Structure 1
Amino acid sequence: MGLNLQTGSRLRPVDLAREHGLSTQAVRNYEAAGILPAAARTPHGYRTYTSLHARALRTFLALVPGHGHGTATSIMRAVNEGEDEEAFRLIDESHAQLLDDRRTLQAVERALHDLRFTQASGPEPTAGETHIGPLARRLGLRPATLRKWERAGLVSPRRDPRTGYRVYTEADVRDARLAHQLRRGGYPLEQIAPLIAQVRAAGGLEPLESALRDWHTRLSTRARAMLTGAAELEAYLRAHG
């Protein structure tokens, strides 16, 4: 059950802590971090909180799932210091990051769709392993581009111990095709490398579909959490004055 937020009611640290299953030390730490306004003290030095502190704590805990602990802390600190514009800027940055994440997910899905379409359109001219020249021609790239991708970790061909030539397996060809699709979508190498790593960790494209569904779920969960946090923050701003 939530606390009675009657204006002027005096609350102890334990009152705030119990509502959220926290320790009293955590409440004191939040105050020290600027997440809660500074508490008044009794003549004996004990902290006393009010409904404003209770609302501040609820707001912070509502902001964390959507914005992360660090950003939520900075938002609350800005509000408590009267820097509302800074709080709004931080919120805008979080929303921009969420939008970037959505665009990245969409780019990966388009790349996988294009890759599957290419694979389904007909058999590869050369089955099994291949070398840098044939692969570059197949993708319409220069060999130097594939070497650059190798340095960036996008492809990892092995070396023939007798000739020293690069040997690309079917998995390497898959990674090169996926990288090619993402590069055509305008994504830089440093953003593509972790996505290629996910494909490898998943064991191919098909298992990655489950990861993409989870990614969609996480983004939607985060978006809804941002809405919840925004509602709590608006209430706190009104109370904070």
Structure 2
Amino acid sequence: MARPASRGRRPIWLHPTAKPVLFALSLLPFAWLFHGALTGQLGANPAEHLIRATGDWTLRFLCLTLAVTPVRTITAQPALARFRRMLGLFTYFYVCLHLLGYAWFDMGLDMADIAKDIAKRPFILVGFSAFVLLTPLAATSFNRAIRALGAARWQALHRLVYAVAGLAVLHFFWMRAAKHNFAEVALYAAILGTLLGWRLWQQWRAPVLQRRAQGPVRPGREAA
């Protein structure tokens, strides 16, 4: 007697709990930092620790967000795209915490001093520019915004992520330059450079593949 065909297991990222689990995991760094601040476990300079840690997590979530498209394309798992929006919004969440930490702990929320500091220190200006460019991407990450802008304009706007990634690495580089510590900078630059390079390669490759699929134009079939 033949056995009934076994049903293939559904990938874990299609499980209904996948998004809530990812949301909870993405909040863990914030929970850990919040707990550390309350219990005094952030070292001798907790303010600096909070600012540096939120900046590090911003870069990590930016890398994860940009990795979604290559991973789903290479693995032929289009359903992974459902996590990209959440990861992008968590990137913005942590950059907001990073900026808030700088404005509060370093500048005492004095807007005049903050404006002067941004204009005076290039690495602060670069970091703030990345935040400004990231803001419209977060604000238009919802379906209603996509419909309002149209797919082409929405995609053009979200190409700002290339500039955001470059500015973020430059900000990190200048921050670490004072201590001559470039190991982490090189790591993030390599990861982001690879991810963005893959995207540019795909954009160049798409029309080439389209022309190949259409085949050679036959004589007499050219447009008049």
TM-score by length of 2: 0.27
Q: Which has the larger radius of gyration?
A: 1
Structure number with higher helix proportion: 2
TM-score by length of 1: 0.26
Of structures 1 and 2, the one scoring higher in RCO (CA 8 A, sep 6+) is 1
